[in-house]
Structure 1
Amino acid sequence: MLAPTLSVVLAVILSIAGLLHALWGFGVTFPAANEQQLARMVVGKRGITKMPSMTACLFVAASLFAFAILSLVLGQHVQVPVSKWLVAAAGAAAAMAFMGRGILGVLPAFERALPEQPFLSLNRRFYSPLIILIGIGFALLTLALPYWSWRLGLLH
């Protein structure tokens, strides 16, 4: 089946992103030469010179790690003692959140609000497309759940 493989791929991508955010929280500027360059690459806010606080970076890192775990739960690699419907709802919410951010990121209003380069070009070429794909991945994993598919009449 595709779902177990997709869930692992999503978990790896989200864990790498989480690790980067954690490192940034502790002051690592990879892949930029300094903090200002990094902030312009990953935040993109007009006139930004510093990265967000350690707390903000670690919050994003923890959120990304939680989504990585959710992808493993949806792929049935990890079992959690919660309702199957809660897992399905979390998967659907993750799909909508990621697809929403990805789509929002390519709208002209978003680009006018965050004019810094190189964020704009990185967002157009890499960030938003990847985020949309992550959202699609969560949607596919959610729809592939046996109990969800049965309820929708996709499985007999």
Structure 2
Amino acid sequence: MTALLTGALVILAVIHALWGLEIWVPIRDEARLARTVVGARGVTRMPGAIPCFLVGLGLLIIAIALWFPQVLLGKLILWGAAAVLMGRGGIAYTRFWRKMTPEQPFATYDKKYYAPLCLLLGGGIVFVLLRGI
């Protein structure tokens, strides 16, 4: 479980780092990518380098912490990450979030893929914490 979660988090961290370098993957058109992964009303540009790198760094820190769930700092990081991921996953199904992020295809992908991924990652982290693996 730890290796699977780590792999997923590292892949997501690398994608965010690439965006920070203005390497638009998997969609090469910035406006289309922004509508696909940001989804805010009228979005045409991806977030800047600093936000992308910070998200990537946060994901890497979580991936590292997964290997130290018995250490106090690891526990704190992982419980915080689980709360954020579960919250992000859950908010996707609220009317408030839909009004903030109406762009397509983000709105559809968020319900079908992004939110469930956040819930799975958050739940996986809780599983690791409770099982101590």
- State TM-score, norm by structure 2: 0.93
The residue number in structure 2 matching 1:126 is: 113
Question: Identity over aligned residues, as a percent?
Answer: 35
Q: Output the CA distance in 2 between the equivalents of 1:88 and 1:19.
A: 24
Deviation beyond 4 Å, 4+ runs, structure 1? none
Q: How does 1:51-90 map to 2 (within 5 A)?
A: 51-74=46-69, 84-90=71-77
Relative to structure 1, the CA distance from residue 95 to residue 111 in structure 2 (aligned partners, 3 Å threshold; closer, same or farther) is: same
CA-based RMSD of the aligned residues comes to: 1.5
The residue number in structure 1 matching 2:13 is: 18
Offset at residue 10 of structure 1 (A): 0.5
Amino acid at match of 1:11: T
SS at match of 2:42: coil
Q: How does 1:107-122 map to 2 (within 5 A)?
A: 107-122=94-109
Q: Which consecutive residues of structure 1, in runs of 5 or more, have no partner in the other structure? A: 1-5, 77-83, 147-156
**Alignment match of 2:24 (pick from 14, 18, 29):** 29
Listed one character per residue, the Cα deviations across residues 37-58 of structure 1 (whole Å, up to 9, x for unaligned) are 1111111111111111111111
Q: Which has more radius of gyration? A: 1
Q: 1:91 touches 1:141 (CA, 8 Å); kept in 2? A: no
The residue number in structure 2 matching 1:3 is: none
Q: Output the CA distance in 2 between the equivalents of 1:116 and 1:52.
A: 15
- State TM-score, norm by structure 1: 0.80
Q: Output the CA distance in 1 between the equivalents of 2:102 and 2:8.
A: 26
